[in-house]
Amino acid sequence: MPAIVVLGAQWGDEGKGKATDLLATTDPIDFVVRTSGGHNAGHTIVVNGEKYATHLLPSGILTPGATSVIAGGVVVSPEALFHELDGLIARGVEVADLKVSANAHVIASYHATIDKVTERFLGKNQIGTTGRGIGPAYADKVNRVGVRIADLFDEGILRQKVEAALDVRNHLLTKVYNRRAIEVDAVVEELLSYAERLRPMVCDTSLLLNQALDAGRTVLFEGAQATMLDVDHGTYPFVTSSNPVAGGVCVGAGIGPTRIDRVVGVIKAYTTRVGAGPFPTELFDDDGARLQQLGGEIGVSTGRTRRCGWYDAVVARYASRVNGLTELFLTKLDILGAWERIPVCVAYEVDGQRVEEMPMTQTEFHHATPVYEYFDGWMSDISGCRTFDELPANAQAYVRALEEMSGAPIWGVGVGPGREQTLVVHP
Ligand code: GDP
Ligand code: IMO
Ligand code: MG
């Protein structure tokens, strides 16, 4: 299986890090690739009880022998990149080989400044971004005033580009937002300071990956963010500024869609969301607080508490459809062991009508209330189970029911954060 995509099927934090790490260690994987987003991601990997969090780096950085690739669709903060690398090195991790696309756009400190100022101006309409400068960096890219990694190796070009980028931005900052202007010299100096350390990592990652696939090597594309946070297919405007869906992988990596063999959607056995925006199954009661507490639902990047709710099969079917999922990886089933009865949202009611698929408009989605079906819980600790057959009958029935209604077969089930805490349903 040469090209495998792993992506988020809900609003992020489904366990993509764990799924990537698992695939990278069970099959020999040659490349682990990030294709969109930036250091707004927070992916947790637990190896032999040791916990690691990756943000901008692909989780493959922890897999010796695999090459990690940051492809052209990613927005790269060199500061965050080196901070993360140095953090792993300081912990004694033998970091894998790393390649960075020359075409990737750069996040400079002014992007984070603008991200935060813009959020403040939005007031009660704010998105609840991670404040990492992701949106402003993608905005510069689309406005054609972005700085790319390759520009860091030519001071003259870099200065011209930073001047162009800051021209309008500084008018906005000083005249609209009442802030100090950002100095071109300081930005250029900062970005140049990363150039030498970056140089050996930089290459044409599209060529690298296509040649690898031609040679029959195995490439794992590690999704960041998720389907419902996609700028085109998510709950716009409460989304990130990239395309985390499967189609975005081709654009972000520079590979054709015909290259992809498997598309694995990672999905929690319940639902969480960080930041603002609609969330039909959100719970505001004790069940929500318990899911949050038992699931340890605290953001890896920002430390924010995640909003929690029941599994939403309408979202699952939508994710299966827009990504062409070949399978699902269901995580955190172990967390549901404390409930006698588990509700699952099987459809919505929108303005008095039952709807089975994602409503067409944002207003309808805001008005959607869940229609629940109830499943018997198993009321036990399943974190020690290692095969699907070992699961209590009610847990097996819950997984089979979700599979039936979610639009793709469930390949594996997570019963704990560790690599080994995974049950294969369909090998
Ligand atoms: P990602 O952003 O999709 O990689 O997910 P995060 O790392 O932000 O959040 C997922 C959290 O769930 C992490 O703390 C993981 O260690 C943890 N996790 C993943 N799979 C399981 C599972 O099956 N059971 C439990 N209890 N925790 C899991
Ligand atoms: P992983 O890869 C969960 C959310 C933010 C905010 C919105 C826009 O760990 O699943 P941004 O900073 O991207 O402009 O914020 O998107 N968000 C995430 N939520 N997991 C993530 O990544 C996220 N990355 C961005 O909370 O609502
Ligand atoms: Mg996360």
Bin 208: left if φ > 0, else alpha if -120 < ψ < 50, else beta. alpha
List the CATH number of the domain containing 288. 3.90.170.10
Instruction: Please pick, among 39, 43, 55, 233, the residue that the annotation labels catalytic.
Output: 43
Residues 183 and 329 in one domain: no
The backbone torsions φ and ψ at residue 275, rounded to the nearest 5 degrees and listed phi first, read 90, 180
Is 240 near ligand 2, meaning CB less than 6 Å away?
yes
pLDDT of residue 49: 87
Is 275 near ligand 2, meaning CB less than 6 Å away?
yes
Helix ranges (H only) for 39-103 are 78-90
Q: Mutate which of 43, 331, 385 to test ligand 1's pocket (most atoms within 8 Å of Cβ)?
A: 331
Q: Are 63 and 100 in contact (CB under 8 A)?
A: no
Residues 274 and 363 in one domain: yes
pLDDT of residue 1: 58
Let me know if 105 is a catalytic residue.
no
Give the number of the atom of ligand 2 that is nearest the alpha carbon of residue 129: 15
The residue contributing the CA closest to ligand 2 atom 21 is 225
Q: Is the pLDDT of residue 140 over 70?
A: yes
Which two tokens mark 379? 């009321």
- Model confidence band, residue 427 (pLDDT cutoffs 50, 70, 90): low
Displacement of CA 203 from its chain's centroid (Å): 24
The residue contributing the CA closest to ligand 2 atom 11 is 129
Q: Is the pLDDT of residue 333 over 80?
A: yes
Residues 394 and 298 in one domain: yes
Which two tokens mark 283? 């719970």
Residues 326 and 237 in one domain: no
First to last CA, the chain: 13
User: Where in the sequence is the domain holding 174, given as residue range(s)?
Assistant: 105-196
pLDDT of residue 63: 86
Kindly report the average pLDDT of the chain as a whole number: 95
Please give the radius of gyration of the chain, using alpha carbons only, rounded to the nearest integer.
22
What is the rounded CA–CA span in Å between residue 424 and residue 427? 6
Q: What separation in Å is there between the alpha carbon of 9 and the centre of ligand 1?
A: 14
Q: Is the pLDDT of residue 211 over 80?
A: yes
- Model confidence band, residue 419 (pLDDT cutoffs 50, 70, 90): confident
Burial class (CB in 10 A: 0-12, 13-18, 19+), 302: middle
List the CATH number of the domain containing 87. 3.40.440.10
In our burial notation (b when 16+ CB lie closer than 10 A, e otherwise), range 322-352 reads bbebbbbbbbbbbbbbbbeebbbbbbbebee
Task: Indicate the range of 34-38, 245-249, 254-258, 296-300 predicted with least confidence.
Answer: 296-300
pLDDT of residue 60: 87
The closest of 44, 68, 5, 23 to 299, measured between CA atoms, is: 44
The closest of 233, 220, 227, 223 to 261, measured between CA atoms, is: 220
Residue that is last in its domain, among 155, 171, 196: 196
Q: What separation in Å is there between the alpha carbon of 359 and the centre of ligand 2?
A: 22
Q: Is the pLDDT of residue 260 over 70?
A: yes
Q: Is the pLDDT of residue 25 over 80?
A: no
Residues 79 and 227 in one domain: yes
Is 115 near ligand 1, meaning CB less than 6 Å away?
no
Hey, how many other C-beta atoms are within 10 angstroms of the C-beta on 303? 8
- Model confidence band, residue 64 (pLDDT cutoffs 50, 70, 90): confident
Residues 317 and 245 in one domain: no
- Model confidence band, residue 343 (pLDDT cutoffs 50, 70, 90): very high
Is 15 near ligand 2, meaning CB less than 6 Å away?
no
Chain segment 274-319, per-residue pLDDT in tens: 999 999 999 999 999 999 999 999 988 888 999 999 999 999 999 9
Residues 20 and 84 in one domain: yes
The residues, ordered by sequence, that sit 6+ positions from 161 with a Cβ below 8 Å of its Cβ are: 145, 146, 147, 151
What is the rounded CA–CA span in Å between residue 270 and residue 80? 31
List the CATH number of the domain containing 120. 1.10.300.10
Chain segment 145-179, per-residue pLDDT in tens: 999 999 999 999 999 999 999 998 999 889 988 89
Residues 94 and 130 in one domain: no
Is 16 near ligand 1, meaning CB less than 6 Å away?
yes
The residue contributing the CA closest to ligand 1 atom 26 is 416
Helix ranges (H only) for 313-425 are 313-323, 362-367, 393-406
Neighbours of ion ligand 3 (CB under 5 A): 13, 42, 300
pLDDT of residue 26: 74
Let me know if 13 is a catalytic residue.
yes
Residue that is last in its domain, among 219, 235, 264: 264
Residues 178 and 299 in one domain: no
Give the DSSP H/E element, type plus range, for residue 265: strand 262-268
As for how many domains the chain has, the answer is: 3
Q: Are 210 and 255 in contact (CB under 8 A)?
A: yes
Residues 344 and 246 in one domain: no
Give the ligand with the smallest distance to the CA of 267: 1
Residues 161 and 39 in one domain: no
Residues 189 and 206 in one domain: no
What is the rounded CA–CA span in Å between residue 140 and residue 147? 8
Burial class (CB in 10 A: 0-12, 13-18, 19+), 68: buried
Is 278 near ligand 2, meaning CB less than 6 Å away?
no
Give the number of the atom of ligand 2 that is nearest the alpha carbon of residue 42: 9
Average pLDDT over residues 210-238: 97
Residue that is last in its domain, among 232, 264, 296: 264
Q: Are 384 and 418 in contact (CB under 8 A)?
A: no
pLDDT of residue 109: 92
- Model confidence band, residue 22 (pLDDT cutoffs 50, 70, 90): confident
